[in-house]
Amino acid sequence: MNPGEIAVIVGPNGAGKSTAMKAVFGMLNVRRGSVRLDGEDITDLSPQARVARGMGFVPQTNNIFASMTVEENLEMGAFIRRDDIRATMEQVYTLFPILRDKRRQPAGELSGGQRQQVAVGRALMTRPKVLMLDEPTAGVSPIVMDELFDRIIEVSRTGIPILMVEQNARQALEIADKGYVLVQGRNAHTGTGKELLADPDVRRSFLGG
């Protein structure tokens, strides 16, 4: 992926979207092919080792420490670092201003959309080379979804490539530089977000005409 590129995997329920994401992160074994990061083959590395190499991953569920404050959650994200994390923390607060306001609050008290911002911010604290998001807008309202997508675009503008699995296909493809439509575990369609949105097969099958 290129710096700042947003790639989105969409497809029907049960197509294998989240499975593909977990395989890339090392939570599931890859039966065929390989996983490469910055040209390095990382197929055999554990998830923790992948984080150390520069892979940031935000799972769909259980992605924050509810009893810890927002700031403590962000500090936990930087656990592998041995340098000064304050500049990165400031970048996260600039990207997600609401987190600065609520930094002393337990993360469990936040709204669903704010929790997702904490989860993304925590992944950014590792200074990842690529950020992977598994269904970042699951269970949030349309207004919050739009705001989260705006924040995701802001993150990409800092130069971090983003790979995202997303149930809200139309909205996700609207912000995608690259899109992949997964059907029964296979990549059925590939193109830019705009190309896939305009593709009659994709529209008919996944976007409601």
Give SS3 for 46.
coil
Output the domain CATH number for residue 185: 3.40.50.300
Is residue 1 assigned to a domain? no
Nearest-10 crossing angle of helices 142-157, 86-95: 140
Q: What is the pLDDT of residues 69-94, one digit of tens each?
A: 999 999 999 998 899 999 999 999 99
Is residue 150 assigned to a domain? yes
Per the structure, the count of domains in the chain is 1
Give SS3 for 170.
helix
Q: What is the pLDDT of residues 136-160, one digit of tens each?
A: 999 899 999 999 999 999 999 999 9
Q: Which domain holds residue 146?
A: 6-206
